[in-house]
Structure 1
Amino acid sequence: MARNTYLLSASALVIAVTAMPILAQAQTNDEPAAVEEVVVTGSRIARRDYVSNSPIMTMGAEQIEKTGSVTVDTLLNQMPQFVPSVSSTSNNPSNGGQANIDLRGLGTARTMVLIDGHRVVPSNSDGTVDVNIVPSALIQNIEVISGGASATYGSDAMAGVVNFKLNNRFEGLMVDGQYGLTQRGDGKEGALSVTGGTKFADGRGHVTASFGYSKRGSVYNAARGFSKVSGLSTTTPYGAYIVDATNAPSQTAINDVFSQYGVANNTVSDETARYGFNNDGTLFSNGVNYTGSTAIDSSTLTSSDTYNTGALNLLQLPMTRYSLYTAGTFDLTDHAELYGSVNYSHYKSRTVLAPAPGTGFSVPVTNPFISDDLATLLASRADPDADFTLNKRFSDVGARISNTTFDVVQAAGGVRGDTGLKDWTYDVYASFGRSKQKEVQSGNVSRTAVETLLDAADGGASLCDGGYDPFGANAISDSCKAYISRTTRNTTIADQAMLEANFSGGLFDLPAGELRGAFGADYKYDSYKYNPDALLLSGDVVGFNAAGSVDASTHVSEVYGELLVPVLKDLPFIKALNLDLGYRYSNYATVGGVSAYKVDGDWEIVENFRLRGGYQRAVRAPSLGELYSPQNQGFYSLSEDPCAVNSVARTTGGNAAAVRSACLAQGLPSSIIDSYTYSNTQIEGTSGGNPDLTEETADTYNFGFVWTPRFDSPLLEKFSVSVDYYSIDVKDAIGTIDVSTALDKCYTGGSSAAYYCNLFTRSSTTGEITNVTLTNLNLGEYKTSGVDFQLDWGFGLGAVGLDDKYGSIKVNLVGNYLESFKIQSLPGEEFVELKGTIGNTQISGTAVSHPEWKYATSVDYQYGPVNLGVRWRHIGDMVDAYHPDEKIGAVDYFDLNANWSINETYALRGGVTNLTDKQPPYFSSYVQANTDPSTYDVLGRRFYVGFKAKF
């Protein structure tokens, strides 16, 4: 606590602005601003009091500027209610450069994204939205409602809603620019936007347009000390002979070969599972006779020889983006306003992976490039003429590079106005959006072409110059490279069409006030097409994952109703008591009819002190991808194989004998059961859709208070605090069982052990896992609960004995205490508690963090036109989800920012992010840069400067 007290005291002198969520219902000015009738996110009912029964976090445009980032997901991912998933610093897995957001860690598909209260065209088969397409220059504020909101907005709003509200009434001309880079001179980011707006037709019409350009530079893992050795793999560039346990070399031959290298007899056992090739083609095994291959980091050699793939991967994905947004309104009559908008984004991004890992190549003993030493081992086998297995990473072809181009457009429009009946309003709206992705993949290798060269009597010399020598560091000719290389091209198109009609207004008066309502209906059509390259469909490609084509569509028709019921008013300890009741019926083409509903309450006990809370039933129908995605080959992170002789399960676990028996029963050869080791980091697996999925449901509870006292003291007159408890229980959750969970539950017994063991297969010769099947299922439950809290406090320096002319201070604290986060893989199983862990991949397919405490504190000093600030971001300590003994300490980041409004036209800004250059913590179960690059800052200290001009 001493550190916390010190920071808050010091921040009174060095003041900052955070991404400062301001309670929508709390005014911090001396007098509340007049508010016209508005619609609060989370409700369809227009009302004059800007009050929400659900916790709402609001962030303004200035908070986006102060992150120093050119994309809005950076700000959101720093907020305690969000759990960073795949982001701009996530290379593998990645979404090709997309920016997806995840509320509560329940998955991006369960977070609904809106622009001005309307749906946004998705960019993925699971329905998630890419927030890269939001026009940053026009963001007025971002409203986040956490917890189920399906009764209000429909499917996908299981964890909550993020609503980007745009300034469609902008007038004048604004130019905004920014540039930043890291202390190490990389990761450069730049952005420029030009925005204009004007009235026309004597004020009856208005048009706004904004053009934006931004560019983000790449950073490689090799550029940072913590990540330059990572992603270790046993598939090396210079190849390895994989021993068939039933046809292994003799001990005598092994001794003969290794004695030439000065190795004592029997140092290398005849139970050795693999022999790697040095640069000159000589053999090494488990570090013995390793001569320093430039493609293998010798410092990482332990019980197996591993290749450092991480250095070649990206730590930050590059992006170049162009965007154009235009919106307009026109008053047809006093009761009808036409409105419309077009949002277009074009951007390119790139991911880079280590060279393609090829496994299971069959090589005849007649191959002319086989060295004498290898020939000696092969000839000593029981069947000396049998082909042998070669694993090899194709570094001679180069890295696997995926260049993706995104084109996203959404056109929307409608008519709204007064009905003429009391204060009832209407809004009839339609939209069509298309997201198109073109992906070009290089670095692929044709398995057939490689096998042809390996089988050729001349080593392939008649097919390409020099032939193909896979054993050691042998340069490959351009013609051989062209012979085995393949470039693939994939296209993805997602379409969405919406039609909705909404009506809102007062019904009749009750003793406590007016009963208000909102009613409406909508229709939504979604389609998703994925056309992979024919080469990928052939199954011949080694490199990028093979995937089948998808061409699917669905639609839903919905009706909803919402009532705001004033129950009591102006009674002792009941200044106002209101209920908000909502119901939505949805008829899906896939799962049929489902219902969502809510009961929320708002109790103002006395002036400026309110209790709020309620219950919501949210429903999410399975997405097109979850239903219809074909079986897809991929690679999954696995830090430890329980069958390995040096695994925790077989060394320190109390069930070692049972694990050993289970491994034998699954096919691990008895000849290597007590020598088999695993040092790879990824295994091949199959994932895909399941057309038999049903909808998932969530029960959400929230309860809390908002206190906005108005003390007479100038020190406390601008003070407000809110505390909200939430509980979300998702049943029949749609997802997959992650690899580590499947292995653990297979070998540690239990009633479901047989089910989990059937999910993967092993090689009968090497014992290695050859495939794991991870198709979508309606799993058990995901349950999370916790407390959100926020404090806002502002005062002039006159309140502390100085004078207000010397400036003012604002303090903001926003945080989350995670009470629990539990997952249940199959119905009836025990829940696994993930609170305080990092690395579990079951929900999101990538490592997810669940710290007990996460908060951001900021203090802001305003002196005339100058604003100075410091922000403190705290991520609590955790343990590795798959290695609970591995502790990951708490991490604190400090940021500085400044803004100078030179005059009414010009303003300058700048800042330092991660002031102390804090490096991310290491944890072993995750192969991406040795850490979670989305949760932790992996770029280090960086600087930015910017300007804004308004005319």
Structure 2
Amino acid sequence: MNASAYRRRLLNSSMAFGASVAAASLVFATPTLAQDVGTAGQPDPATQSDEAAQVDDVVVTGSRISRQDYQATSPIVTVTQEDFQATGSVTIDTLVNDLPQFVPSVNSSSNNPSNGGQANINLRGLGTQRTLVLMNGRRVVPSNSDGTVDINLLPTPLIQNIEVISGGASAAYGSDALAGVANFILNENFEGVQFDAQYGVTDRQDGVSESYALTLGGEIADGRGHLVLSLGHSSRDQIFNRDREFSAISGPSGTTPLGSTTFDSTNLPSQTLVQSYFGDGALTNTGQFGFNNDGSVFSYVRTLNFDSPGGIDYDGYANPGVGDYVYNTGPLNLNQLGLNRWNAYVGGRYEINAGAEVYANLLFTEYDSANELAASPAAGNVPATGFRVPVTNPFISADLAALLASRPTPGGSFLLNKRFNALGGRRANENYNVYQSTVGVRGDLVGLRDWTYDVYAQYGRVLRTSVQSGNVSRSAVQRLLDAADGGASLCAGGFDWYGETALSAECATYIGRTAQNVTEQEQSVVEATLQGSLLELPAGDLRFAGGIQYREDVFAFRPDASLAQVNPVVVRPDGGSVGGSEIAGFNPGQPLVGDTNSVEYFLEVLVPLLSDLPFIQQLDLNLGYRLSDYSTVGYVDAYKADLDWEITDFLRVRGGVQRAVRAPSVGELFAPVNTSFPSVGTVSATGISGDPCDIRSSYRTGPNAAQVRDLCLAQGISASAIDAYVFTNNQVPGITGGNPDLVEETSDSFSAGLVITSPYDNAWLSGFSASIDYYDIEIENVIGTIGASAQLQGCFNARGENPTFDPNNGYCALFDRDPLSGNVNQAREVNGNLATLKTSGIDAQFDWNFVLADIGAPDWGNLNFNVVVGWLENRERQDAPGGPFTNRTGTIDSVFGNTFPEWKSLASVNWSHGAFGLGARWRHVGEMTQFGTTNELDAANYFDINGSWDLTERVSLRFTVNNVGDEQPIVYSPGVQANTDPSTYDTLGRRYSVGLTARF
């Protein structure tokens, strides 16, 4: 057995034993009344005894040091379980994404692109892989090859509050914390029995959500130990785009169920015949031509001679003779992904003696989700991946045969684009099976003044199984096309590709493929820490924390054999080629297996500099350093220096600088080359989206039109096609892959802020507090890819990247063109250390509460106001050293995680009186400009209300109405999906939820 396997086996055995002990001990627990929870998840002072009310040492997120009254020196925001319940959602990411500190990313509406139903969070818009997710201050096992955590794994019923800090936190926690940390704190001190149930539905009677949770906790062994157990189930129904008016027509595609061809630019039919056939002297023969059911041919450009078959309009975008014909895939995509999830968590601790307390916990989550897309498209405009139809095929109509015969080489095959509706939609059913367990011992170092230690081992594993249906075998389809009888000898009826296709069950089985992919991720952590007071200084105790950590991440992706199959490329006698990836439908994939590990040493000191002086009530300096030895990039270090200056009882200044690092992940390093189909949008009025070589784009009509034309020719568009070239699709073929030569990312962050607590006894002002913080984060050697859209824009000098329009420019070298069609053939989105990513801005939070009776009003209860505001000063990205910075401040794009409003806020007001409570929320997303255009998108404002009623001391009811005004999302084209950004804008409309909590 190798060392790695031995470590995992040892961890598994230890944690299974610890979890078993904890579960068995629960039988002896004596439940008591569930403890009330107050602000920031702390026990309500009104319920505490004098003894229990004594202040214990605390540890704040972002630091390893514990001390009484210790406060965060980094910008921090805290939300509670009550805040989550006010969303009416069954997943915690809904609340997180409402916060100004986060740019929403993959979530419940992420169908295409999708991450299999996961919920990933993106702090400061710097990437989900740069947001470190903790549970009770410890890492959560990642679910992706880039180290991103799926927060669907967390036990939602036990989350008592979430602490979020901005800026690098690698000195405290290690790699991945470049943007900051989200620490999900569980209530492991829960006592009693609590049952919670919730039901929700939209105003359109769809998207039903349900959640049920049972939580038990109590003391064991005469108070020497404590156990808590939580069981939860939640579900969410799927909603299709067709169920909402704004998304019913969306997702334009040039590959349709009718089938089409783009004639080879080196073997074009007679221009005179084409113009005569369509009765349009301006129509060129280099466009895309489709096949009507009656045997006629129509033009995708201006939709000439289009015959809507059987009254079915596949278009939905352009009327015949007005605009280009494209297929409407929108109705067949999901607006909201379904979810069926089970959570279980058990945690316990037992005090052996004053110097040792053992503890253990086990988290288990299993959930199912799915995404669904329109039927598989197979485009013939991609060499070695499309289809070639020989002129001997029996399904060629007389009209098409005449056009083919007019070519210089009439016997040559032609390209076929086809969408296989006869197989149904593409669906990926995802199953996640996750567990994470921790076993440790902690306690006081007897004989040493307030010194403590903590040693633990942790192991987590995520098993993801994805079953795909609706895929098509390219080789099987090509065999049917090449058969002299059209494939009738291979399957009943053969393959009639002309117009709509109705496959027999035998032929559907012959070309259809179901695939199963398996992904397994493991993380092992062993850590030992020591902390306490070194000596007493005039201004307070000099405190120290230090430790050592070993961490190992193992990732394995095992695709279905058909998805990994690559057929040899065969060049046909007529010059066309077939072969390449075997599967059309979901993207092909190659196996990936890899691991990384590190040994890390860290220390931190809290130095009290001054105290009890005029304007210096307390001044502390917090210093931290971490040295890490990674198996991939070697030694890297991180550090921090934070200052906390308490000027008076009511005014505090905080801030500091941090150096953070992120080592490349398994996927970023070792991912094999895989096929992808990135979106580049369609040609817009400005031409920024789509293919700049399109004759309708602003590139071809602007001041540099001649240089653009020359560059298009140099890239391979033929002279016969250059002045008639159009691009009617919204995707291009590409490849993705890792890079074993990557180095670590580094970030430098700076923050400075003020915290104000009201010094007044006045009833109006005593409950006021506020904080305002400035942050500035700059990341260098950013690991990432230059997307297909950015490649095209950079190559054609959209923002000064290629002023000489040099075909050898670095951006131009990232993609190729098909010499037959002229279309982009291969956009290489392969990982590299890019240049710089920068962001800066201001966060402000205001809280104000008062008792109505105390301000002279009737005794009608309490009012609480809370406002969290984010102002984005700057968001820039530089793709190459020395290259231009692209400013994304105040813009929105067609890619998840690239929405950067200048202003974003979340405000709430809550009233409570006796057994009743009523609240309202205002979610605001500021106005934005569509990136690369002059299109201005209005601000979005959503209003929610919620209420509660304590029926008895132990049973309470609650309700929510979200998006009271039924505001529709801001739509734009091309959007991320469904004509909008569903992660940013509310796509469900008005919705309701009711809940019940019973405590015993």
Q: How does 1:89-488 map to 2 (within 5 A)?
A: 89-255=109-275, 257-258=277-278, 264=279, 266=281, 269-285=283-299, 286=301, 287-293=303-309, 294=312, 296-300=314-318, 303-360=323-380, 361-420=387-446, 421-488=448-515
Residue identity matched to 1:291:
D
Residue identity matched to 2:710:
S
Q: CA separation in 2, counterparts of 1:28 and 1:919? A: 43
Give the conservation status (yes or no) of the 8 Å contact 2:41–2:80: no
Q: CA separation in 2, counterparts of 1:703 and 1:647? A: 46
Q: How does 1:911-926 map to 2 (within 5 A)?
A: 911-926=960-975
Name the counterpart of 2:628: 586
Find 2:793's aligned residue among 744, 759, 777: 744
TM-aligned CA deviation for residue 181 of structure 1: 0.9
Give the conservation status (yes or no) of the 8 Å contact 1:271–1:671: no
Give the conservation status (yes or no) of the 8 Å contact 1:276–1:305: no
SS for the counterpart of 1:84 is: coil
TM-aligned CA deviation for residue 324 of structure 1: 1.0
Deviation beyond 4 Å, 4+ runs, structure 1: 20-34
Name the counterpart of 1:576: 618
TM-aligned CA deviation for residue 474 of structure 1: 3.1
Find 2:653's aligned residue among 604, 607, 611: 611
SS for the counterpart of 1:703 is: strand
User: Aligned residue pairs: how many?
Assistant: 919
Name the counterpart of 2:977: 928
- 1:862 corresponds to 2:925: no
Q: CA separation in 1, counterparts of 2:154 and 2:261? A: 51
Q: CA separation in 1, counterparts of 2:372 and 2:38? A: 36
- 1:545 corresponds to 2:587: yes
Which blocks of at least 5 consecutive residues in structure 1 are unaligned? 1-19, 259-263
TM-aligned CA deviation for residue 304 of structure 1: 2.5
Q: CA separation in 2, counterparts of 1:365 and 1:208? A: 72
- 1:891 corresponds to 2:905: no
How has the CA–CA distance of structure 1 residues 295 and 694 changed in structure 2, closer, same or farther, with 3 Å as cutoff? farther
Instruction: Give me the CA root mean square deviation.
Output: 1.9
SS for the counterpart of 1:76 is: helix
Name the counterpart of 1:873: 923
Name the counterpart of 1:515: 542
Deviations 1:530-550 (A, max 9, x none): 000111111200111111101
TM-aligned CA deviation for residue 256 of structure 1: 5.4
How has the CA–CA distance of structure 1 residues 22 and 290 changed in structure 2, closer, same or farther, with 3 Å as cutoff? farther
Q: CA separation in 1, counterparts of 2:707 and 2:88? A: 54
Q: CA separation in 2, counterparts of 1:24 and 1:947? A: 20
Give the conservation status (yes or no) of the 8 Å contact 1:26–1:708: no
Name the counterpart of 2:695: 645
Give the conservation status (yes or no) of the 8 Å contact 1:793–1:811: yes
Residue identity matched to 2:526:
L
How has the CA–CA distance of structure 1 residues 298 and 860 changed in structure 2, closer, same or farther, with 3 Å as cutoff? closer
- 1:37 corresponds to 2:57: yes
Give the conservation status (yes or no) of the 8 Å contact 2:262–2:286: no
TM-aligned CA deviation for residue 510 of structure 1: 1.1
Give the conservation status (yes or no) of the 8 Å contact 1:847–1:926: no
Q: How does 1:727-738 map to 2 (within 5 A)?
A: 727-738=776-787
SS for the counterpart of 1:672 is: coil
TM-aligned CA deviation for residue 280 of structure 1: 2.9
Q: CA separation in 1, counterparts of 2:71 and 2:147? A: 30
Name the counterpart of 1:14: none
**More relative contact order, 1 or 2 (CA 8 Å, 6+ apart):** 1
TM-aligned CA deviation for residue 770 of structure 1: 1.4
Name the counterpart of 2:993: 944
TM-aligned CA deviation for residue 747 of structure 1: 1.2
TM-aligned CA deviation for residue 198 of structure 1: 2.3
SS for the counterpart of 2:423 is: coil
Residue identity matched to 1:487:
T
Deviations 1:546-576 (A, max 9, x none): 1110110110000100000000011111111
TM-aligned CA deviation for residue 185 of structure 1: 0.9
TM-aligned CA deviation for residue 926 of structure 1: 2.4
TM-aligned CA deviation for residue 683 of structure 1: 1.2
Q: CA separation in 2, counterparts of 1:755 and 1:455? A: 40
How has the CA–CA distance of structure 1 residues 532 and 798 changed in structure 2, closer, same or farther, with 3 Å as cutoff? same
Deviations 1:648-683 (A, max 9, x none): 2222x3222211111111011221212111221111
Moved more, 275-284 or 773-782: 275-284
Name the counterpart of 1:5: none
Residue identity matched to 1:391:
N
Residue identity matched to 2:906:
A
Deviations 1:564-601 (A, max 9, x none): 00000111111110000000000000000000000000
Moved more, 825-834 or 288-297: 288-297
Residue identity matched to 1:168:
E
Residue identity matched to 1:514:
D
Q: CA separation in 1, counterparts of 2:421 and 2:122? A: 36
Name the counterpart of 2:899: 849
Name the counterpart of 2:22: none
Residue identity matched to 1:881:
F
SS for the counterpart of 1:378 is: helix
Deviations 1:378-416 (A, max 9, x none): 111111111111111111111110001000101111001
Name the counterpart of 2:775: 726
SS for the counterpart of 1:848 is: coil
Give the conservation status (yes or no) of the 8 Å contact 1:230–1:927: no
Residue identity matched to 1:175:
F
Q: CA separation in 1, counterparts of 2:996 and 2:655? A: 42
Q: CA separation in 1, counterparts of 2:284 and 2:200? A: 57
- 1:498 corresponds to 2:525: yes
TM-aligned CA deviation for residue 202 of structure 1: 1.5
Name the counterpart of 1:792: 847
TM-aligned CA deviation for residue 251 of structure 1: 3.1
Give the conservation status (yes or no) of the 8 Å contact 1:315–1:929: yes
TM-aligned CA deviation for residue 359 of structure 1: 1.4
Name the counterpart of 1:705: 754
Residue identity matched to 1:484:
I
Q: CA separation in 2, counterparts of 1:30 and 1:798? A: 23
Find 1:806's aligned residue among 860, 865, 868: 860
Moved more, 654-663 or 606-615: 654-663
Q: CA separation in 2, counterparts of 1:314 and 1:35? A: 50
How has the CA–CA distance of structure 1 residues 341 and 133 changed in structure 2, closer, same or farther, with 3 Å as cutoff? same
Give the conservation status (yes or no) of the 8 Å contact 1:295–1:308: no
Deviations 1:483-509 (A, max 9, x none): 000011110000011000011111101
Name the counterpart of 2:23: none
TM-aligned CA deviation for residue 292 of structure 1: 2.1
Name the counterpart of 2:728: 679
TM-score where L is the length of structure 2: 0.90
How has the CA–CA distance of structure 1 residues 299 and 155 changed in structure 2, closer, same or farther, with 3 Å as cutoff? closer
Name the counterpart of 2:74: 54
TM-aligned CA deviation for residue 829 of structure 1: 0.9
TM-aligned CA deviation for residue 303 of structure 1: 4.1
Name the counterpart of 1:769: 824
How has the CA–CA distance of structure 1 residues 255 and 816 changed in structure 2, closer, same or farther, with 3 Å as cutoff? closer
Give the conservation status (yes or no) of the 8 Å contact 2:38–2:44: no
Report the identity percentage: 50
TM-score where L is the length of structure 1: 0.95
How has the CA–CA distance of structure 1 residues 591 and 703 changed in structure 2, closer, same or farther, with 3 Å as cutoff? same
Residue identity matched to 2:697:
S
Deviations 1:39-70 (A, max 9, x none): 11110001110411111111111111110000
